[in-house]
Amino acid sequence: MTHPHRLGWPGVVGLAISTTLVLVTTAGPAVASAPTITSFTPTSGPSGCVVTIFGTNFTNPLVSGVDFNLVPAAVGSVTSTEIRATVPANATTGPIHVVNADGTATSSTFTVANPGGCAPTITSFTPTSGPVGTPVTVSGANLGGATSVTFNNVAVASFSTNTAGTQITTTVPSSASTGRIRVTTPAGTATSSTDFTVATAGEPTITSFSPT
């Protein structure tokens, strides 16, 4: 803001002196980005169960640790709002903690139980179509210990599961028809959200495309 002051000196006409008001501001402290936990699923399960934790501020800054009642857990995928962590050996019933550089989030109680609610989930499968005999990879969580895999209720002859329990590899069984894929474990059954399309042998199929 400028305030002109006219001087009344003899012989000086129209001379003005300006004074300027300077405002100085200081930046406030940076907004903290401590994590928060809004929910998790399943709410119970044994050691080795993969638990999906939902919340905020998981990547900015990136989480540095997850524990189940203070027992450190192995962390799989991490997004800004979702973490997949494995219930560690020797874990006991209690809260889940998520830690980053700005703070710690504490959940409600996770119950360590066998089998608990550690049901399998199917997140995707590839390819999405093919004739009988086509190799198929089913991805998800808690697939370890699977007892059966079906294509529209037709059981496959054989399948294998990776050690993390996140993928099953198999082939489309004889007499299968278009429908959902299901994976059954002692804790429950997972059903795919979309159909696998069984094509006639010799028909062209699309397994993927790029870019999308």
**pLDDT tens track for 124-160:** 999 999 999 999 999 998 998 899 999 999 999 999 9
Class of domain 36-112: mainly beta
Q: What is the pTM of this model?
A: 0.63
With 0-12 / 13-18 / 19 or more C-beta atoms within 10 angstroms meaning exposed / middle / buried, residue 207 is exposed
* Domain ranges across the chain: 36-112, 121-198
pLDDT tens-digit map of 150-187: 999 999 999 999 988 889 999 999 999 999 999 999 88
**Identical fold, 36-112 and 121-198:** yes
Closest among 140, 163, 154 to 196, alpha carbons compared: 154
pLDDT digits (tens, 9 = 90+) for 88-109: 999 999 999 999 999 999 999 9
Question: What is the three-class DSSP state of 5?
Answer: strand
Q: Which residue has tokens 């080795």?
A: 48
CATH topology of domain 121-198: Immunoglobulin-like (2.60.40)
Beta bridge partners of 15: none
For the chain, helix, strand, coil in percent to 5 are 0, 50, 50
Are 119 and 188 in contact, with CB atoms under 8 Å apart? Answer: yes
